[in-house]
Structure 1
Amino acid sequence: MTNRPPFKEVRHTFCAIRDPRSSIRNPPPPFCSRPRDRPHFLPTGRSQPSRVPRLHGMERASKNVELDGVKSGLWSGKDDVKFRTIDPSDGKINKASLYKLMISGVTPRPVGFISSISSEGQTNLAPFSYFNIACHDPPMLMVSINHPEPDKPKHTCDFILQTKNFTTNIISEPFVDAANYTSIDAPKGVSEWALSGLTPKKSDTIDAPRVGESGFSMECELEHHYPIHNDNKDRTSTIIIGRIKRFHVRDDLIDDSLLVDTERLLPVSRLGGITYGRTREVYETPRPVWEKEKERDEVKKILGSDGKAKV
């Protein structure tokens, strides 16, 4: 790792999406106010691991002074750093504000591109960022689907509960615009597949098709679902837990050990608002091993004579 370039601070730069569409729903300024003024989306550039932003010494108050806000003490953990405490049960805070708070604070998030099918054979395709893997033995994933109105689930949720199966597909940069178009608020009966131009591929074990353009797809059977109710007893969301029955990984993206090449997969992540992130600059940080760390003089000093750290 010593031959890698040093970690450097990078500011966010907003770029215009390729082939921007004019009819953008709910464009929060300034993101959509002048997309043509932004630099073009650059398809080139490869992820290059850099050295970890390492602490200077073992002291807990020590931080990488090259990063923004460190010298001024914003990352010190001291009492003089101001925080805003937010109570979600405060009646003065509306649910839209809580939504903005959570999706902008809990980032980055992977995007689950969910394909589902109804008991009548109608298909649906939509992206969800309340999504992640849950277990590898057995392989499980979860997605939380918010309801547009209390007790009125989205088509995806409705279809999954009907047929007990769905596919989850990872969105990559080459088709991110088409994937985003499936988030359109189309009425029931309108196919997001046709609108987006994406390719449905037959699954091996379930009825719901997978996305042909996706380099990483999972066929899932419904393992469990959990309805979420707000303080008014309205059902506002449903957590779906799916058991993965098949993985489909493009051959050039995976090695013999089943490790997926993120650099080639080009996955996108969801940030706040309508902002998305690219996985291009990465760094590696090895996990400490206790049997080795406990013998270091710096660690012994922190632990003290009784071998226990003082908090």
Structure 2
Amino acid sequence: MSAFTVAFSEIAPRDRYKLLCASVTPRPIALVTTLSAEGVVNAAPFSFFNVFSEDPALIVLGLQHKPGNNPKDTTRNIAAAGEFVVNLVDEALAEAMNICAIDFPPEISEIEAAGLSLLPGVSIGVPYIAQAPFALECRKTVSMAFTPTRELLIGEVVRIHAREGLVDPATLRVSIDDYKPVGRMFADGYSRQNDRFDLKRGTYTEWLATRGG
């Protein structure tokens, strides 16, 4: 079978999406909580998401608008308030996260529909999900619009919350065996992180030694 290659300029955006999501995987999931001007807490999952920097502590989110260039609840709420929480998703939270992906109208909170509960933010005014293994309180740093429907948001993490037992207070090490994060694959697929392995990062000197140099 011959290798496959295609220029993205030659295929439709939905086909680019299909290839990108199926090749760049698994991806972490951000279950983002925001607060509307009316006081409704919105929760929406994003897998176009990752950590970007530790100094300053930054995360990135890929936001999109609905057809007709209407901002989604998360995009609109962050633009107005400049604050949001990234709730990370583990196996126990996966089903509720999937419910939050339903296109509820703005006046309905996904939190209630998914049977979740909230805890008040400490450094910001947006609450976070009590069941989340980790929650990152964030403030909007900058937003860049690339098209009328696609936006890249950079947020600064100002506080982290962790479920009891996940972080050693003395070493700040995370217990991955207790965390059990979920990754987004493509289409309806998700992945558990049960089968892991370690690779020790060596030095150039060590690499030379293995080659007899």
Give the TM-score, by structure 1 length: 0.66
* Residues 192-246 of structure 1: CA deviation (Å, up to 9, x unaligned): 01110111110101111101001111100101111121xxxxx121111111111
How far does residue 175 in structure 1 lie from its aligned partner after superposition? Answer: 2.2
Match in the other structure for 1:295:
209
Name the SS of the counterpart of 2:59 in structure 1: strand
CA distance in 1, matches of 2:14, 2:212: 46
Aligned AA for 2:4? R
Deviation for aligned residue 1:137: 1.0
1:240 partnered with 2:153: yes
**Match status 1:286 vs 2:206:** no
Higher strand share: 2
SS at match of 1:125: strand
Q: 1:219–1:246: 8 Å Cα contact kept in structure 2?
A: yes
Q: Distance in 1 between matches of 2:150 and 2:80?
A: 16
TM-score by length of 2: 0.94
Distance 1:252 1:86, change over 3 A: same
Percent identity for Structure 1 against Structure 2: 29
What is the match of residue 60 of structure 2? 142
Equivalent residues of 1:116, 1:160 under 8 A apart = yes
Q: Give the partner amino acid of 1:152.
A: N
Q: CA deviation at 1:190?
A: 1.4
**Preserved CA contact (<8 Å) 2:82 2:139:** yes
Task: Name 1:249's counterpart in structure 2.
Answer: 162
Q: Partners of 1:262 and 1:278 in 2: how far apart?
A: 12
CA distance in 1, matches of 2:154, 2:206: 39
Which runs of structure 1 show a deviation greater than 3 angstroms over 4 or more consecutive aligned residues? none
Aligned AA (1:211):
I
Counterpart check, 1:103 vs 2:10 = no
Compared CA separation, residues 299 and 138, structure 1 to 2 (3 A): farther
2:117–2:129: 8 Å Cα contact kept in structure 1? yes
- 2:65 partner letter: H
Q: Which amino acid aligns with 1:94?
A: A
Query: SS of the counterpart of 2:149?
Result: strand
Given candidates 180, 183, 188, the residue that maps to 1:269 is 183
Distance in 2, matches of 1:95 and 1:187, equals: 26
Q: Counterpart in 1 of 2:107? A: 189
Q: CA RMSD of the aligned region, Å?
A: 1.4
Q: How does 1:155-234 map to 2 (within 5 A)?
A: 155-229=73-147
Q: Would you tell me which structure has more helix in proportion to its own residues?
A: 2
* Structure 2 gap ranges (5+): none
Runs of 5+ consecutive residues of structure 1 not aligned to the other structure: 1-80, 230-234, 301-311
* Counterpart residue number, 1:87: 7
**Contact kept? 2:58, 2:155, Cα under 8 Å:** yes
Instruction: Give a deviation string over 1:47-88, Cα, whole Å, max 9, x none.
Output: xxxxxxxxxxxxxxxxxxxxxxxxxxxxxxxxxx72221112
Asked if the contact 1:223/1:241 (under 8 Å) is kept, the reply is yes
How many residues align? The count is: 212
In the alignment, is the contact (CA less than 8 A) between 2:60 and 2:152 conserved in 1? Answer: yes
Choose 145-154 or 254-263, whichever is displaced more. Answer: 145-154
Letter of the 1:264 partner, please give it.
Answer: D
In structure 2, how many angstroms separate the alpha carbons of the residues matched to 1:105 and 1:146?
20
Q: Whole-Å Cα distance in 1 between the matches of residues 206 and 7 of structure 2?
A: 43
Q: Secondary structure at the match of 2:188?
A: coil
User: What's 1:258 paired with?
Assistant: 172
